[in-house]
Amino acid sequence: MTVWLEQPEQTPPHDLSPAMIPLDVVYEDEQAIVVNKPRGLATHPAPTLKEPSLVNALLGAKTMLSGAGEAFRPGIVHRLDKDTTGLILVAKTDEAHRHFASQIESHRIERRYAAVVAGDIPNERMRIDFPLARDKTNRIRMAIDTAGKRAVTHLAKIARIDAGSLIAVRLETGRTHQIRAHLQAYRHPVLGDRIYAPPELRAWPLQLHAGFLAFVLPGSGERVECFAEPPEDFLMRELVTREALLRP
């Protein structure tokens, strides 16, 4: 008797080919590099990704990258969504990778964003504390779920503008799509968000920028602070200053 065994589904390999993509390097030493990621560049390779990622660009620049994490995302200790612009920290050594991962786990790395959202945010400062989990009907999205992981976002209004509200955002936790899902749940979705905003609010590029990043280097304990202005297509970008992002 012949027995046919079902073959396991093969996962397409991640493309780790070096790519020659210019990078805006904000900070670099022998342990870490901070890049101001442009819009449209994914953080790391994925089986469904057809274009080069930040990892491919770093490999193309012959940047030393940590191998302490997953093989398809060398050096990556946190990520930004493909259409989110701004600062991302990459580890060059395994020691630095473990050190930065520990800082993220204990919420000691500061990550602050600028966002333009629909409507008028009613309070000058506010705190959103809603647990998040994968949406049960759409796995691309995150949703408020009492069984999900704790997620806390702090907001401060910078200005009321014609398109909505310009706000500063500080992450206390770092869940997938946290800012976008929290603001959508609060009924002030990020303009240009093709996952969480209604169609009439998708005419803009995604108005979310990681503008401030602070971390402590392993060994020396030196604190590093980085700031990057939003891109040209960010609304009222001249109001996004380092001081404005430090409000929440």
Q: Which among 81, 83, 120, 233 is annotated as catalytic? A: 81
CA pair distance 147, 166, nearest whole angstrom: 31
Residue 81 annotated among the catalytic residues of the structure: yes
3-state per-residue secondary structure call for the chain: CCCCCCCCCCCCCCCCCCCCCCCCEEEECCCEEEEEECCCCCCCCCCCCCCCCHHHHHHHCCCCCCCCCCCCCCCECCCCCCCCEEEEEEECCHHHHHHHHHHHHCCCCEEEEEEEECCCCCCCEEEEECCEEECCCCCCCEEECCCCECCEEEEEEEEEECCEEEEEEEECCCCCCHHHHHHHHCCCCECCCCCCCCHHHCCCCCCEEEEEEEEECCCCCCEEEEECCCCCCCCCHHHCCHHHHCCC
Question: What's the one-letter identity of residue 170?
Answer: R
CA pair distance 22, 42, nearest whole angstrom: 14
- Contact between 196 and 206 under an 8 Å Cβ cutoff? The reply is no
Residue with tokens 């602050």: 112
Which residues are known to be catalytic? Answer: 81
